[in-house]
Structure 1
Amino acid sequence: MSGTLQSLLAFDYGIKRLGVATGSRFSGNAEPLKSIHLEGDARFEAIARLIKEWQPEGLVIGVPFHPDGAEHEITLRARRFGRQLKGRFRLPVFEVDERYTSVEAESMGARDIDSAAAALILEQFFREHP
């Protein structure tokens, strides 16, 4: 199913910030968009505006794990956020193991680390689901 989706929005989940990127399977590249510094319903309203603007066919969320692959509190919160996205927007939601994407974005000198991490998450999704 993921092979048929062309345009996607990706999210680097954080409790205080949410990085957002967009990308196309056609190009295989992702573009950082912005970070959302809102919580609760305001966060979902901002996401709704992005979905309306970009018209993605699916959503990708980065799910963090400990280096040994074990889950932790943010893993569970990110998965819950993914379920909320699916329920609210009725789009397919895919999870990507996003260990170290923020560190990689920072090492690349990104000005907005969260949206750059979301772009890395989406590019990883494209590699894992050609």
Structure 2
Amino acid sequence: MSATPDAILTVLGFDYGSRLIGVAVGNRLAGSARALTTIGNGAAPEWARLDELVREWKPDAFVVGLPLTLDGGEQAATRGARAFAAALGRRYGRAVYATDERYTSREASRRFADRRAQGAARRKDAAAIDALAAEVILEAWMAAPDDSVAMTSP
């Protein structure tokens, strides 16, 4: 694989869902991630919107959260996330890593509640929770990239 985790600087992370996909950007040099946006995911992801994000951020790789069951098993959503990861690799020719996303939604909800309490977010901004979940997924991946699985290579 040409882009090993050590060589990767800019990463787009995804919280895959059947209706929405949360997107975050991370920089390994700075050790930071931030929520960007959510994109629709109906019959297919909003590829045109993803194309824009890839052009804007020029990621070295992608990280997709795998929604496993509490006991680590796979479910329908896991298969959807794996298919999305494979499609990202084919479309953009970059490495794609998958990482366990258990409990990220809980952490994203906590962060959203904290932001609401500080007046930085409103209830109508609740779709941002998916982007915050992508942020949490990227932070976890940057903290322990060896715990991820390489899904595709460029």
Per the normalisation by structure 2, the TM-score is 0.80
The whole-number CA distance in structure 1 between the counterparts of 2:77 and 2:44 is 19
- 1:122 is matched with 138
- 2:5 is matched with 2
Post-superposition offset of 1:41? 5.3
Worse overlay, 92-101 or 103-112 = 103-112
Worse overlay, 105-114 or 9-18 = 105-114
SS of corresponding position for 1:99: coil
Within 5 Å, which residues of 2 pair with 1:96-107? 96-107=99-110
- Identify which of 15, 18, 39 aligns with 1:36: 39
The whole-number CA distance in structure 2 between the counterparts of 1:37 and 1:86 is 19
Between the two proteins, the alignment pairs up a number of residues equal to: 130
Q: Please state if 1:13 is matched with 2:16.
A: yes
The alignment's C-alpha RMSD in Å is 1.5
CA 1:127–1:87 in structure 2 vs 1: closer, same or farther (change >3 Å)? Answer: same
The one-letter code of the counterpart of 1:74 is: A
The whole-number CA distance in structure 1 between the counterparts of 2:23 and 2:131 is 5
- 1:71 is matched with 74
The whole-number CA distance in structure 2 between the counterparts of 1:49 and 1:65 is 29
Q: Please state if 1:92 is matched with 2:95.
A: yes
8 Å CA contact 2:38, 2:130 repeated in 1: yes
The whole-number CA distance in structure 2 between the counterparts of 1:45 and 1:121 is 23
For structure 1, the 5+ residue unaligned runs are none
The whole-number CA distance in structure 2 between the counterparts of 1:13 and 1:41 is 12
Work out which of the two has the higher radius of gyration on C-alpha atoms and give 1 or 2.
Answer: 2
Post-superposition offset of 1:24? 0.3
Post-superposition offset of 1:79? 0.4
- Identity across aligned pairs (percent)? 35
Per the normalisation by structure 1, the TM-score is 0.94
The whole-number CA distance in structure 2 between the counterparts of 1:41 and 1:97 is 23
